[in-house]
Structure 1
């Protein structure tokens, strides 16, 4: 069985989130921090050999106070990120275990990814070397003219267009090489770096429920998604961790 290391970037500035008290990965969602829900999607998988959470240096002290016990209990490694997302992923790549054949990079602010989507993208990556979750574009697309206010310059064909999401999963040697060769050219996702090396990246259709927390209003939708996916309590039983601060 192929082994996967999972990198969860959470070092961004969350400028669009609109909350002075929390960055979006650490905001409360259904009584737990967003990033804890995200970790849950990978924590008990037999094919995941390592999980690395990446945070900003400015958050290190407060994060350790609030969540240090979670890291120890759940066996999660911590990396300190940089100014850009690629800097954060690069820092995590330096900590990837030698046991890992593949590296999966998943936004810490995407807590609603489905197990079957993870299964599918892991399997596709194991077969082709590189695969990402994405959804086909169904909306009508307009290109603006750049004015203020903009007006429509043209209607863009949506044929064969996909919106990329995460996890994005790659052979370990490919993603390490891609980051070593990234230079100063900007990249909007990790797959773009793999594409520059000439490797094909398989598209795996994702669920529309795999939302990314961007603004505070997204928390309400994410909570409803998680509630609908949460298994029912067994008859006569309780969740032993329901009131345990370690899991909050």
Structure 2
């Protein structure tokens, strides 16, 4: 069995965060930076060979000043990303060692990912070649005509909200990125690029708790979700780490059948 490389793109501009003094991935969440919390589920996963954190060149001085010791202790490979997210991921792919045949990409702004969810999507990615966390759309969807008025109600049957991590065979992901500029609209996630070269991606049940920090108020929501996950708000001891003595919950999940999701 090959090894797993993890890419954490953290080079975004955070234009919607609303705090000109810092980017969202460097904001503190319960005493730790958002990007560090996003890494937690991968630090003790047995298959992880390499973790690449891709930062903006303009953040290098600040990053080294705040996090150099932590990055060294965690053996992180810190690189400078590109102008767009796809450029950042492409640069990271070039740093992955030959031993890694599987790649997980996780948003640096998703700090509430659990070890169970990470392990489930990694297992599905290894079995099927491409997998992502996703949750079904529950709200009614309206289409705007560009003038603030509705033009239709979009049926939500079969619609999912994509999350990360997204996990792929390395050769599929490299082939997808080699063709990322060939026609069509700009991809909004890595799974879209892999789909464009003919590979379907397995949907692994995600969680509404696996939120992405976009605006400052999301930090308060994330802090509350971390409280719930740890059990502190209900007076219980924090849950044991999923890779300590007790077997992780994901190990008991049934294998994912892509036919159940997509049909034969």
The normalised TM-score by structure 1 is 0.90
Structure 2, unpaired ranges of 5+ = 232-236, 240-264
Q: Give the structure 2 partner of residue 187 of structure 1.
A: 187
After superposition, residues 9-88 of structure 1 pair within 5 angstroms as: 9-88=9-88
Q: Does 1:151 align with 2:141?
A: no
The 2-side partners of 1:100 and 1:156 are apart by: 41
Q: Deviation string for 1:123-169 (max 9, x for gaps)?
A: 1111110001111001101111111xx11101110010001010000
1:227 offset after TM fit, Å? 2.2
Classify the secondary structure of the residue corresponding to 1:25. helix
1:229 offset after TM fit, Å? 2.2
Q: Give the structure 2 partner of residue 103 of structure 1.
A: 103
Classify the secondary structure of the residue corresponding to 1:101. strand
The 1-side partners of 2:119 and 2:238 are apart by: 25
Is the CA contact 1:25–1:109 (under 8 Å) kept in the aligned structure 2? yes
Q: Give the structure 2 partner of residue 242 of structure 1.
A: none
The 2-side partners of 1:221 and 1:52 are apart by: 27
Q: Give the structure 1 partner of residue 113 of structure 2.
A: 113
1:115 offset after TM fit, Å? 1.5
4+ residue segments displaced more than 2 Å: 227-234
Is the CA contact 1:103–1:169 (under 8 Å) kept in the aligned structure 2? yes
After superposition, residues 219-238 of structure 1 pair within 5 angstroms as: 219-230=219-230, 232=237
The 1-side partners of 2:216 and 2:144 are apart by: 28
Classify the secondary structure of the residue corresponding to 1:51. strand
Q: Deviation string for 1:107-132 (max 9, x for gaps)?
A: 01101012111121111111110001
The 2-side partners of 1:58 and 1:225 are apart by: 31
Is the CA contact 2:103–2:169 (under 8 Å) kept in the aligned structure 1? yes
Cα RMSD for the two superposed structures: 1.4
Is the CA contact 2:230–2:238 (under 8 Å) kept in the aligned structure 1? no
Q: Give the structure 1 partner of residue 3 of structure 2.
A: 3
The 2-side partners of 1:127 and 1:97 are apart by: 21
Q: Deviation string for 1:59-97 (max 9, x for gaps)?
A: 011101110001100011011111110011011111112
The 1-side partners of 2:109 and 2:132 are apart by: 17
The normalised TM-score by structure 2 is 0.85
Aligned residues: 232
Distance 1:47 1:21, change over 3 A: same
Is the CA contact 1:2–1:126 (under 8 Å) kept in the aligned structure 2? no
